[in-house]
Chains A and B, each alone.
Chain A
């Protein structure tokens, strides 16, 4: 599947996993936290330890959908001078070493400022496969979806426990790649218990579409991941990984070790 790109690469990844009776373990890190060279190493480690898709956060100054862990990661990344063009360049470098699907997770303003068409073109040229924009609901997304479609990249929408049936239909219709199902009411961050709303949401979305469903927000441990995995096509873990990065900022080998070990446990639990 070396030659596939963008939406097609995401589709092939989910299809291949499904063929093996498996699910995707989707690992999130904030690009540039604490610097882009470390991000590159983290991505390769995560892949080696069993991640099937990488979500790279492009930091934004005002991340309203994020809890303190990812807010602070964005703060570190911005302080280190991380910008959207530099993240794209990092993906371009990574593409010499890996063909793992990479999706960017960001907010609308940095993309808008960069230019929607230019973003779709350059992201595709650098080897990005899809984009998740936390503050871009389905009805506002056409301006970005159109150029991304033309470049073959996926605009991956979110669905939430509050989404009405009409909204889920709209989201499913506009979905490319997969649907990011938000497991709970709240911002990103670790939770002691698994969200009770998740299963119901997955069922409601599943009833309307065959697009792969990935579940994220608040999934903090391998135990959580193992419980939710059978209900969906992919499990997203973010804050719990970012927390390990934050804990080991002054010891990079240990950071990579701990993130790697955690990823391995998550991959096994999701598989």
Chain B
């Protein structure tokens, strides 16, 4: 039911957004990557191997689960959860890393590097590298190393070297900077496994392609269960991979609202947040034109979110395009609301969501009571909350 080819444009532009703004040294590597991607996604053997990894190894398809008690509690729209948290390694990130590391293997690369925020992409990359026997190094902001300690340990157990990044704000943005510096120095034998649908072309297209399995499955599953499309699909937005993965399944269904939920931190009005689409201005960071949290001089602003995976001042270019074209809507959920989302889902459904995913849950909790009981929402439950128990323990008090 899911195929890789077809709907994927590879010109690197999404309206005024996208492109490849990188040092010249990396430009040929991006061209090589694009050529490899075109060739592999056209190759039935690659498709077959990728799809078989998704099912046999990652445990796909992920369930589309009707959250009955949550729906009852909220008293409105019927809420379905797309259970990416049940994938191997506990989030949607594995869909992308299996695809990219498979590419790395076929391209004959000797080494894989990655950045990670919450550690989920790092764990998923470490996992795929262990599976294919390729050495892996992951850059992670020193602040995230601390707050996502469990994932650091998991990566190390999987044979990956975790490098704590102490420059700048010590979070995801700086981990990407450091990974790009590494790539510049080792570009000939190193594959950069990028974790979200952002960055320079062709990464936004590659990551969306590998994550589009989420939306493709969800669309088929809701049609099977309900006989109709949902009224809205919701996903949290860090860089945009789980959101683009979900949205891509419904882009050509104009009746389906696409709702991206950003990290509102202490509140967008406080300035301590990571809501790039809600409060940012277009600019260039990490290789693409996109909405960006920046000051009047074009310097990138520090961000805050309780969810390490959303704590990033940029966002993928296609989401910026979907915002400007009006096809998708974006809102921000605060740390406090996200924590309430964790509690709500834990107590009504026995599911502990990742703090990132809890942002989408919290937005659903706001919307559902406003909607009629015959309306349908799908929430992308991008990951499980085990990694966050440390942070949550501090908040539960």
Contacts and interface: CB of A to CB of B under 8 A. Distances in A.
Interface in A57-104: 60-65, 67-68, 71, 78, 83-85
Interface string A154-191: 00011111111001000100000000001001110000
A203 B268 CA distance: 53
Given A64-B180, A67-B181, A164-B28, A113 B294 contact: yes
12 contacts: A60-B299, A65-B23, A67-B181, A109-B299, A110-B298, A111-B298, A112-B284, A113-B298, A135-B287, A182-B24, A185-B187, A185-B188
Given A62-B177, A185-B185, A162 B29 contact: yes
B187 A162 contact: yes
A110 B28 contact: no
B19 interface: yes
Given A62-B173, A110-B298, A113-B297, A135 B22 contact: yes
* Interface size range on A against B: 35 or more
A157 B27 CA distance: 13
B124 interface: no
B14 interface: no
A137 interface: yes
Interface residues of B, number: 37
Interface in B316-361: none
Contacts of B167: 68, 71
A193 interface: no
- Nearest 4 pairs of A and B residues by beta carbon: A113-B298, A110-B298, A186-B185, A160-B25
A262 interface: no
Interface string A128-172: 000000111111100000000000000001111111100100010
Interface in B148-168: 167-168
B20 interface: yes
Given A71-B167, A110-B297, A160-B24, 16 more contacts: A61-B299, A62-B173, A63-B177, A64-B184, A64-B286, A84-B297, A110-B299, A112-B298, A113-B296, A113-B298, A140-B21, A160-B23, A162-B188, A182-B23, A185-B184, A185-B187
A163 B24 contact: yes
Contacts of B188: 162, 185
Contacts of B185: 185-187
Contacts of A85: 297
B177 A64 contact: yes
Contacts of A61: 168, 299-300
Contacts of B28: 160, 162-164, 167
B184 A65 contact: yes
Contacts of B285: 62, 109
Contacts of A185: 25, 184-188
A113 to B, nearest CB: 3
A161 B23 contact: no
B284 to A, nearest CB: 5
B317 to A, nearest CB: 13
